[in-house]
């Protein structure tokens, strides 16, 4: 192969490798989340990465340019297939396909990568991990309440203490009813209101007020058209949006007044009332609140919606303290399976954004010590003729359940210690001629001696540096290493 024919070692835009420490944290978080889902009775399901594009609910305006937003290609049968962009669309396909064989309700969890062909940016990747649970086939509000309780429990289990998160619940039917009661009945007009409310976080109450009314001119002079509501209608929507309160009962009281006797609004209110009762029965307290400002995008939700937000402050990219915000969300979507079967199948679920939650925990814990995943014990090779003896040591350590490896490179001893440091090894095992003669080994506590080890350049200097190392009899290798591991809390 000619030199200029060599491919460049690089990744496509928007994709990233996940190195060991980050990956260990993610796997451990996933394990914890899935254990919570299991505890609540959900069972695992895995669907493949590739689905038919039409089954994902993506339409093709132009056969040659499949819907932007997904990675699509033609299969051998010339039909379009695509990488899944979430875990909910494949679930709907699965339920529609197998509903006769499934228990009702069907309760599944799934964790895995999803792919979005969107503009990548800092912290925005084209492949990321979702971790979902859903209950399909039950219209009971106990399902929605359970989902909120499970989000709260999951956050606590991954290390967000009570008080540092909030699960915020709303019901789309309530706003819809309030709008209908005040004369905004057109679906398009209602959607414009939802769009305006969805911008509350970014624009504040005044910005939303403008968007609900005649429109808004931003700092750059650009004008966004308004929803065209009357002042009275605008204030009604804002009263609704501001009705959040730590007491679920207080919110229900406020909403009762706003909804009046509109049937859709009352239906939404009844749903929230049922959710409140179920939360009380489950002993779920103030970590799950009713917050009418929560809209959760504009997608397929049909009633209750909820999101889990982290309320502690972390510095944003400009160093200003900011609440971290939403790390999970969900709601009830009663229409998804109907796309396939024509039958209504009630469903409700939630999705945890694993990478976002990890980022939050990382920000938070960066100041705390001891978060790094420890490497293996490294048995160094001081004397190449003794490799067989070093290998026996490795085998002994592994047999005792201690993560260990032989140094397998060709570098000299000092560089071997550098390798052990680079790997995050807690202990280096060292034995040369003297040790073999005396029937001993040297154990170097690398956590303790990390700084010094980097400065050591030869074997004599190492011998002079005794602060972080000890001599144990060869037969006491495993015990000695275990003692250091215990001491360093590894």
**Per CB under 8 A, which of residues 194..253 are in contact with a copy of itself?**
none
Decide: is 8 part of the binding site for a copy of itself (CB under 8 A): yes
CA distances from 268 to 56, 109, 150, 277 (A): 29, 27, 22, 14
Instruction: Supply the minimum distance, in Å, between the C-beta of residue 346 and a copy of itself.
Output: 10
- In 183-230, which ranges are continuous DSSP H helix? 187-197, 200-212
339-366 in b/e form (b: 16+ CB < 10 A) is ebeeeebbbbbbbbbbbbbbebbebbee
Instruction: Please answer whether residues 56 and 89 qualify as being in contact, where contact means their C-beta atoms are separated by less than 8 angstroms.
Output: yes
- Which of 33, 143, 243, 310 touches a copy of itself by CB under 8 A? 143
Instruction: Supply the minimum distance, in Å, between the C-beta of residue 137 and a copy of itself.
Output: 7
The tokens 């009418």 sit on which residue? 292
Q: Give the strand pairing for 43-44 and 106-115.
A: parallel
Using CB under 8 A, which residues numbered 259 to 318 contact a copy of itself? 277-278, 280-283
Distance CA 172, CA 188 (A): 15
- Which of 33, 55, 427, 477 touches a copy of itself by CB under 8 A? 55
Decide: is 97 part of the binding site for a copy of itself (CB under 8 A): yes
Beta sheet of 469-473, edge-to-edge order: 404-406, 377-379, 427-430, 440-445, 469-473
Residue 107 pairs with which residues in a beta bridge? 135
Instruction: Supply the minimum distance, in Å, between the C-beta of residue 62 and a copy of itself.
Output: 15
Closer CB to a copy of itself, 139 or 363, in the complex: 139
Among residues 312, 298, 304, 311, the alpha carbon closest in space to that of 279 is found at 304
DSSP 100: G
Q: How many CB atoms lie within 10 A of CB 322?
A: 12
Using CB under 8 A, which residues numbered 101 to 120 contact a copy of itself? 103-105, 107-108, 113, 115, 117
Using CB under 8 A, which residues numbered 144 to 163 contact a copy of itself? 146, 153
Instruction: Supply the minimum distance, in Å, between the C-beta of residue 212 and a copy of itself.
Output: 31
Distance CA 216, CA 286 (A): 36
Residues 413-432, mask of contacts with a copy of itself (x by CB under 8 A) = ------x--xx---------
Instruction: Supply the minimum distance, in Å, between the C-beta of residue 296 and a copy of itself.
Output: 22
Residue 45, judged by CB atoms within 10 A of its CB (0-12, 13-18, 19+), counts as middle
Among residues 437, 419, 444, the alpha carbon closest in space to that of 383 is found at 437
User: Total binding residues for a copy of itself by CB under 8 A?
Assistant: 104
Instruction: Please answer whether residues 133 and 40 qualify as being in contact, where contact means their C-beta atoms are separated by less than 8 angstroms.
Output: yes
Q: What is the DSSP string of 63-75?
A: TTS--TBS-EEE-
Instruction: Supply the minimum distance, in Å, between the C-beta of residue 140 and a copy of itself.
Output: 5
- Which of 61, 122, 221, 409 touches a copy of itself by CB under 8 A? 409
Instruction: Please answer whether residues 427 and 414 qualify as being in contact, where contact means their C-beta atoms are separated by less than 8 angstroms.
Output: no
Contact segment (CB under 8 A) with a copy of itself among 295-303, 336-344, 362-370, 479-487 equals 336-344
Q: How many CB atoms lie within 10 A of CB 235?
A: 14
Please give the distance of CA 445 from its chain centroid, rounded to a whole number. 35
Closer CB to a copy of itself, 169 or 295, in the complex: 169
Instruction: Supply the minimum distance, in Å, between the C-beta of residue 275 and a copy of itself.
Output: 12
Closer CB to a copy of itself, 129 or 192, in the complex: 129
Using CB under 8 A, which residues numbered 67 to 96 contact a copy of itself? 71-73, 75-77, 79, 81, 83, 93-94, 96
Q: Which two tokens stand for residue 178?
A: 């309030």
Closer CB to a copy of itself, 13 or 220, in the complex: 13
Please give the distance of CA 287 from its chain centroid, rounded to a whole number. 19
- Which of 334, 389, 465, 483 touches a copy of itself by CB under 8 A? 389
- Which of 387, 461, 466, 473 touches a copy of itself by CB under 8 A? 387
Closer CB to a copy of itself, 140 or 363, in the complex: 140
Q: Which two tokens stand for residue 213?
A: 């009314």
Q: Is the dihedral of CA 446, 452, 454, 460 positive or negative?
A: negative
Using CB under 8 A, which residues numbered 364 to 383 contact a copy of itself? 375-376, 378
Instruction: Supply the minimum distance, in Å, between the C-beta of residue 193 and a copy of itself.
Output: 25
DSSP 121: B
Closer CB to a copy of itself, 113 or 207, in the complex: 113
Closer CB to a copy of itself, 195 or 423, in the complex: 423
Q: Three-class SS of residue 348?
A: strand
Instruction: Supply the minimum distance, in Å, between the C-beta of residue 187 and a copy of itself.
Output: 16
Contact segment (CB under 8 A) with a copy of itself among 205-213, 300-308, 354-362, 403-411 equals 403-411
Residues 15-54, mask of contacts with a copy of itself (x by CB under 8 A) = xxxxxx--xx--x----------xxxx-xxxxxxxxxx-x
Instruction: Supply the minimum distance, in Å, between the C-beta of residue 178 and a copy of itself.
Output: 29
Whether cis (ω within 30° of 0) applies to the bond prior to 105 is: yes
Residue 255 pairs with which residues in a beta bridge? none
Decide: is 61 part of the binding site for a copy of itself (CB under 8 A): no
- Which of 205, 395, 438, 475 touches a copy of itself by CB under 8 A? 395
Instruction: Supply the minimum distance, in Å, between the C-beta of residue 82 and a copy of itself.
Output: 9
């Amino acid at each position: 192969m000619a030199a200029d024919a060599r491919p460049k070692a690089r990744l496509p835009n928007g994709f990233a490798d996940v190195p060991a420490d980050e990956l260990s944290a993610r796997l451990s978080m996933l394990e914890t989340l899935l254990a919570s889902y299991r505890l609540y009775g959900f069972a695992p399901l895995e669907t493949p990465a590739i689905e038919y594009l039409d089954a994902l609910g993506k339409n093709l305006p132009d056969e040659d340019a499949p819907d932007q937003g997904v990675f699509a290609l033609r299969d051998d049968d010339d039909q379009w297939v695509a990488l899944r962009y979430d875990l909910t669309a494949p679930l709907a396909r699965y339920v529609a396909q197998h509903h006769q064989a499934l228990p009702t309700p069907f309760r599944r969890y799934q964790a895995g990568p999803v792919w979005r062909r969107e503009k990548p940016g800092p912290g925005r990747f084209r492949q990321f991990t979702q971790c979902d649970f859903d209950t399909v086939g039950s219209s009971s509000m106990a399902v929605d309440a359970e989902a909120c309780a499970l989000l709260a429990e999951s956050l606590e289990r991954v290390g967000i203490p009570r008080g540092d998160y909030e699960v915020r619940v709303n019901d789309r039917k309530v706003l819809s009813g309030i709008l209908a009661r005040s004369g905004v009945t057109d679906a398009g007009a209602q959607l414009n209101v939802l769009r305006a409310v969805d911008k509350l976080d970014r624009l504040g109450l005044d910005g939303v007020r403008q968007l609900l009314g005649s429109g808004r001119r931003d700092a750059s002079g650009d004008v966004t058209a308004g929803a065209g509501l009357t002042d009275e209608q605008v204030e009604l929507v804002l009263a609704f949006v501001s009705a959040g309160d730590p007491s679920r009962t207080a919110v229900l009281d406020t909403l009762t007044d706003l909804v009046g006797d509109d049937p859709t609004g009352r239906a939404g209110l009844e749903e929230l009332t049922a959710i409140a009762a179920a939360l009380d029965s489950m002993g779920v307290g103030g970590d799950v609140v009713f917050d009418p400002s929560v809209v959760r995008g504009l997608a397929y939700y049909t009633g209750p919606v909820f999101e889990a937000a982290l309320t502690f402050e972390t510095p944003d990219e400009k160093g200003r303290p900011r609440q971290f915000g939403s790390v999970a969300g969900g709601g009830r979507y009663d229409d998804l399976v109907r796309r396939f079967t024509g039958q209504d199948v009630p469903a409700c679920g939630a999705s945890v954004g694993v990478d976002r939650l990890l980022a939050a925990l990382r920000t938070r814990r960066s100041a705390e010590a001891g978060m790094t995943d420890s490497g293996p014990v490294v048995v160094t090779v001081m004397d190449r003729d003794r490799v067989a003896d070093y290998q026996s040591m490795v085998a002994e350590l592994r047999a005792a359940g201690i993560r260990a490896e032989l140094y397998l490179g060709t570098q000299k001893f000092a560089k071997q210690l550098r390798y052990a440091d680079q790997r995050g090894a807690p202990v280096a095992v060292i034995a040369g001629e003297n040790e073999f003669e005396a029937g001993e080994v040297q154990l170097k506590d690398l956590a303790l001696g990390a700084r010094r080890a980097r400065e050591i350049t030869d074997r004599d200097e190492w011998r002079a540096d005794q602060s972080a190392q000890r001599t144990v009899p060869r037969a006491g290798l495993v015990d000695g290493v275990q003692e250091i591991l215990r001491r360093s809390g590894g």
